[in-house]
Amino acid sequence: MNRLIRASIPCHLALLAAAFSLTAASLAEEEKVTPGGPLSDTASRGVTARDPSTIVREGDTYWCFYTGRGVPSLKSKDLVTWERGPRVLDKAPEWISKEVPKNDGVYWAPDLLKVGDQYLLYYSVSSFGAMHSAIGLATTPTLNPEDPAFRWTDHGPIVQSRDGSDFNTIDPSVFQDEDGKLWLSFGSQWSGLKLVELDPKTGKRLKPDEPMTPIAAGQSIEAPWIYKRKGFYYLFLNRGNCCAGNKSTYHIKVGRSKDITGPYEAKDGALMIDGGGTMVLDIKIGTLTGPGHAGIVEKDGKSWFSCHFEADERMGGKATLGVMPIEWTEDGWPEVKPPDAGK
pLDDT at 99 over 70: yes
pLDDT at 228 over 60: yes
Which amino acid would we find at residue 204? K
Written as one string, the DSSP assignment of 254-313 is EEEESSTT---B-TTS-BGGGT--EEEE-SEETTEEEEEEEEEEEETTEEEEEEEEEEEG
Could you tell me which residue, 48 or 240, shows the higher pLDDT? 240
Could you tell me which residue, 141 or 15, shows the higher pLDDT? 141
Could you tell me which residue, 342 or 168, shows the higher pLDDT? 168
Q: Which pLDDT score is estimated for 107?
A: 98
According to the annotation, is 189 in a ligand binding site? yes
pLDDT at 20 over 90: no
pLDDT at 227 over 60: yes
Q: Bridge partners of 216?
A: 193
Residue 96 binned pLDDT confidence (cut-offs 50, 70, 90) = very high
Q: Which pLDDT score is estimated for 128?
A: 79
Burial of 153 (0-12, 13-18, 19+ CB in 10 A): exposed
Kindly list the distances between the CA atom of residue 319 and the CA atoms of 83, 139, 218, 226, in Å, as whole numbers in the listed order.
Answer: 16, 27, 26, 23
Q: Distance between CA 16 and CA 13 in Å, rounded?
A: 9
SS3 117: coil
According to the annotation, is 215 in a ligand binding site? no
For residue 327, what is the enclosing H or E element?
Answer: strand 318-328
Q: Which pLDDT score is estimated for 39?
A: 53
Whole-prediction pTM value?
0.91
Cis upstream peptide for 263 (omega within 30°): yes
Burial of 155 (0-12, 13-18, 19+ CB in 10 A): middle
Residue 334 binned pLDDT confidence (cut-offs 50, 70, 90) = very high
Q: Distance between CA 224 and CA 292 in Å, rounded?
A: 10
Q: Which of 32, 25, 17, 126 is nearest to 321 (CA)?
A: 32
Chain length of the chain? 343
- 8 A C-beta contact, residue 295 and residue 274: no
In this prediction, residues 271-283 reach a mean pLDDT of: 97
* Span of 12-21, 104-113, 115-124 with lowest mean pLDDT: 12-21
Which amino acid would we find at residue 60? D
Catalytic residues: 51, 222
In this prediction, residues 326-334 reach a mean pLDDT of: 97
Q: Distance between CA 235 and CA 101 in Å, rounded?
A: 32
Tell me the average pLDDT of the chain: 88
- 8 A C-beta contact, residue 53 and residue 75: no
According to the annotation, is 169 in a ligand binding site? yes
pLDDT at 50 over 80: yes
In this prediction, residues 23-39 reach a mean pLDDT of: 48
Q: Which pLDDT score is estimated for 316?
A: 85
| Neighbour tally for 338: CB within 10 Å | 24
Q: Which pLDDT score is estimated for 47?
A: 86
Q: Distance between CA 87 and CA 99 in Å, rounded?
A: 22
Residues 305-323 as b/e (b if ≥16 CB within 10 A, e otherwise) read bbbbbbbbeebeebbbbbb
According to the annotation, is 152 in a ligand binding site? no
pLDDT at 285 over 50: yes
In this prediction, residues 65-74 reach a mean pLDDT of: 97
Q: Distance between CA 133 and CA 112 in Å, rounded?
A: 19
Residues 174-192 as b/e (b if ≥16 CB within 10 A, e otherwise) read bbbeeeeebbbbbbbbbeb
- 8 A C-beta contact, residue 263 and residue 207: no
In this prediction, residues 43-65 reach a mean pLDDT of: 90
Could you tell me which residue, 288 or 35, shows the higher pLDDT? 288
According to the annotation, is 129 in a ligand binding site? yes
In this prediction, residues 175-182 reach a mean pLDDT of: 98
* Span of 14-18, 90-94, 133-137, 333-337 with lowest mean pLDDT: 14-18
pLDDT at 275 over 60: yes
Rg (CA), the chain: 18
In this prediction, residues 220-241 reach a mean pLDDT of: 97
In this prediction, residues 241-258 reach a mean pLDDT of: 94
Q: Which pLDDT score is estimated for 261?
A: 98
According to the annotation, is 190 in a ligand binding site? yes
Q: Which pLDDT score is estimated for 34?
A: 52
Kindly list the distances between the CA atom of residue 213 and the CA atoms of 1, 22, 172, 199, in Å, as whole numbers in the listed order.
Answer: 20, 31, 14, 16
- 8 A C-beta contact, residue 105 and residue 92: yes
According to the annotation, is 260 in a ligand binding site? no
Q: Which pLDDT score is estimated for 36?
A: 52
Q: Distance between CA 252 and CA 242 in Å, rounded?
A: 12
Residue 237 binned pLDDT confidence (cut-offs 50, 70, 90) = very high
Q: Go through the domains of the chain in sequence order and give each one's CATH number.
A: 17-336 (2.115.10.20)
